């Protein structure tokens, strides 16, 4: 019994080997190449728009003198100025002298007005008793009215002087950095002279120019990935703040502004180039294959499709975005459809129309 069982086992093993040999041999008696295949799928990879843009400050403020005066102090290029701190100071002494002079004139006009108010009351009393004429009364009243107006003018002039005194100190409206200086201490400047440029340090933005054809895929608040050219691994998330709805007639692009935060130790610098990746909706009918299915040759990039008759077809493709083990492809071939099979192992030596054996385990 044991002998018969051993014989049956040997016969069955031999039968399996013969079947495998038959499957792996073509009509001409030669063995067929064995390949491993995977399915073509509807793409799980969303396209990404990659662009380069410049960092800009949200505010670049040219600071003008505002008054005709002499500079007593001005911030240096590179100085960091906190909000409310001085960036420019002028010699205020001439204006303080004018202020003191005008205050003295006001005091004098007040004395004159007080005297005329008393004189008018006296003249009114005398007029009631018929001791002064109507003309004399009107003359005193006119002098009193003129004194009132002179006092008002003097006070207005004092207000002007004090307003100019307030301009002898120019403070920063935000946290900024001095990036340019045009004058130095001791110079006499005019009110319209540009003294320096102050750049906002903590409010930065990335400005991109996006092709108009992608405009419908963008919206304020949309998240994008931002990174430096040589530090692709240090991507940070940022949001689109605004889209300028005006296209450049030559480049057919629109400006997109992205908020940048000074966190994570990246320290963005105005003027530097950054890369941004913006996710786009997947195209209808886009296909993907495993990376191992791609054959790169000097004549182009190909995949090998194995049809239902186990025949190989080498198809030229264009590569798109990749994600994990999948990569997008483009081709007009009728053999490339979702659900069809491509070779991922053993395709390197296959010829067009060659019969194969599928060896997936």
Task: Summarize pLDDT for 120-174 with one digit per residue, the tens.
Answer: 999 999 989 888 888 999 999 999 999 999 999 999 999 999 999 999 999 999 9
| pLDDT given for residue 16 in this prediction | 41
Asked whether residue 117 is assigned to any structural domain, the reply reads: yes
The CATH code of the domain that includes 291 is 2.40.420.20
* Higher-scoring residue by pLDDT: 234, 314: 314
| pLDDT given for residue 89 in this prediction | 97
Domain match, 39 and 82 both:
no
Domain match, 154 and 259 both:
no
Asked whether residue 9 is assigned to any structural domain, the reply reads: no
Asked whether residue 11 is assigned to any structural domain, the reply reads: no
Could you tell me whether strands 60-64 and 194-200 are parallel, antiparallel, or unpaired per DSSP bridges? antiparallel
Which residues constitute the domain of residue 299? 26-45+284-358
Domain match, 192 and 213 both:
no
Domain match, 68 and 189 both:
yes
pLDDT, mean of residues 92-115 = 96
The CATH code of the domain that includes 230 is 2.40.30.170
Total domain count, the chain:
4
pLDDT at 354 over 60: yes
Query: How confident is residue 10, by pLDDT bands cut at 50, 70 and 90?
Result: very low
pLDDT, mean of residues 269-289 = 84
pLDDT, mean of residues 249-267 = 85
Decide: pTM greater than 0.75. Answer: no
* Higher-scoring residue by pLDDT: 159, 16: 159
Domain match, 218 and 245 both:
yes
Please identify, among 279, 295, 326, the residue that sits at the C-terminal boundary of a domain.
279
| pLDDT given for residue 19 in this prediction | 43
| pLDDT given for residue 20 in this prediction | 46
Query: How confident is residue 21, by pLDDT bands cut at 50, 70 and 90?
Result: very low
Domain match, 100 and 162 both:
yes
Domain match, 53 and 67 both:
no
Looking at every residue in the chain, the average pLDDT score rounds to: 86
pLDDT, mean of residues 255-271 = 83
């Amino acid at each position: 019994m044991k002998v018969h069982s051993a014989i049956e086992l040997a016969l069955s093993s031999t039968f399996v080997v013969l079947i495998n040999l038959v499957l792996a041999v073509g009509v001409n008696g030669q063995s067929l190449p064995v390949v491993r295949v995977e399915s073509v799928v509807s793409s799980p990879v969303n396209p990404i728009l990659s662009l380069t843009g410049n960092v800009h400050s949200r505010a670049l403020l040219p600071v003008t003198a505002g008054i005709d005066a002499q500079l007593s102090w001005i911030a240096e290029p590179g100085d960091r100025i906190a909000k409310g701190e001085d960036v420019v100071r002028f010699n205020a002494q001439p204006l303080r002298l004018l202020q003191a002079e005008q205050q003295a004139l006001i005091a004098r006009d007040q004395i004159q007005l007080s005297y005329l108010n008393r004189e008018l009351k006296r003249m009114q009393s005398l007029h009631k008793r018929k001791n002064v004429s109507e003309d004399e009364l009107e003359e005193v009243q006119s002098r009193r009215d003129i004194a009132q107006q002179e006092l008002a003018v003097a006070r207005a002039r004092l207000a002007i002087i004090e307003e100019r005194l307030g301009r002898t100190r120019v403070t920063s409206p935000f946290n900024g950095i001095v990036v340019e200086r045009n004058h130095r201490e001791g110079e006499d400047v005019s009110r319209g002279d540009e003294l320096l440029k102050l750049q906002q340090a903590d409010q930065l933005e990335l400005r991109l120019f996006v092709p108009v054809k992608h405009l419908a895929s963008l919206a304020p608040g949309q998240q994008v990935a931002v990174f430096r050219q040589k530090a692709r691994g240090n991507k940070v998330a940022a949001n689109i703040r605004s889209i300028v709805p005006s296209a450049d007639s030559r480049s057919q692009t629109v400006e997109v502004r992205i908020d940048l935060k000074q966190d994570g130790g990246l320290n963005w610098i105005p003027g530097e180039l950054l890369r941004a990746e913006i996710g786009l909706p997947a195209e209808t009918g886009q296909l993907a294959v495993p990376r191992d299915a791609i054959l790169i040759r000097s004549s182009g990039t190909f995949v090998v499709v194995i049809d239902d008759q186990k025949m190989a077809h080498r198809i030229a493709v264009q590569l798109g975005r990749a994600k994990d083990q999948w990569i997008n492809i483009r081709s007009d071939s009728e053999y490339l459809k979702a659900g069809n099979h491509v070779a991922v192992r053993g395709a390197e030596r296959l010829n067009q129309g060659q019969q194969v054996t599928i060896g997936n385990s």
